[in-house]
Structure 1
Amino acid sequence: MNKHHYNRNKHKIPEKVKWISISIFFILSFFINMCFYETQLFIRIFIISCLMLCAIGTMIYTKKGKDILLYIVMSKKEMQKIIWPKYKETLYTTFIVISVTIFISFILWSIDSVIFRLIAFIISLRF
């Protein structure tokens, strides 16, 4: 039994090799885009898409990639649990926010005007 366990682990690709290959895919796609800029756009997009899919496919088999995939799945589940507000509630809340913003800006404008006039009055008094 230990022999089979050893053979199974022997054929696993180390994480570093996977990340190096992912980096190579990304760098290669960048250089293909830069070096073959005269090639038809469709061909470049196709090649770069294939390289990106290879990079993403390889990334899924890494520990961090699995964590990212799990995070995306859990985020999707959490998004489904959200109770989104109705249109009327959103409209009402927006109206309140706009009203309060206008009211506060009017108050700040008034205070600013008073302070401006006070400073102008103090400056006009020459001792």
Structure 2
Amino acid sequence: MKNKKKKNINFTLIITLMLSIFIYFYTNKNIIRIILILLMILINFNHVIHFTKILNFIKKTIIETKKIIWANPKETLYTTLIITCITIISSLLLWILDHILLYLISFFINLRL
């Protein structure tokens, strides 16, 4: 892991150095050259830090997903059947209750006291 970090940092430093040399020869004022070179170095270090954080997050996520105990297909099928049965039974009960309330309300409305 440390070798990869060193390679990433070395690669960004080489890019920064190349861009800095390019900027140095194609700008006229020294202050602008220095500011641009420092800015390029800061941008590259910031990029390396964020990239390593993203890689660490992905690696930790992969490790955590390997720790999960996944259900086998048989357990998944049983759970699906149980949920389907409970849904059908509860919808039938609600349908029956709805019709009972509908008849009761219609009965009271038609009484005309």
Which TM-score bucket, shorter chain as reference? 0.5 to 0.7
Question: CA offsets, 1:91-110, max 9 Å, x none?
Answer: 11111110111111111111
Structure 1 match to 2:42 = 13
Structure 1 match to 2:84 = 98
Larger radius of gyration: 2
| Change in CA separation of 1:116 and 1:67 when aligned onto 2, cut-off 3 Å | farther
Q: TM-score, normalised by structure 2?
A: 0.54
Instruction: Provide the C-alpha distance between the structure 2 equivalents of 1:68 and 1:125, rounded to a whole number of angstroms.
Output: 72
Structure 2 match to 1:120 = 106
Structure 2 match to 1:73 = 59
RMSD: 2.6
1:108 is aligned to 2:98: no
Amino acid at match of 1:118: L
The 3-state SS of whatever aligns with 1:13 is: helix
Displacement after TM superposition at 1:73 (Å)? 1.6
Equivalent residues, number: 75
| Change in CA separation of 1:14 and 1:105 when aligned onto 2, cut-off 3 Å | same
Q: Percent identity?
A: 38
Q: TM-score, normalised by structure 1?
A: 0.49
Between Structure 1 and Structure 2, the one with more helix by share is: 2
List alignment gaps of at least 5 residues for structure 1. 1-9, 19-57
Amino acid at match of 2:42: I
Amino acid at match of 1:71: F
Question: CA offsets, 1:41-97, max 9 Å, x none?
Answer: xxxxxxxxxxxxxxxxx4xx244x543332222111111111111111111111111
The 3-state SS of whatever aligns with 2:66 is: helix
Amino acid at match of 2:55: L
Match of 1:83 among 64, 69, 73: 69
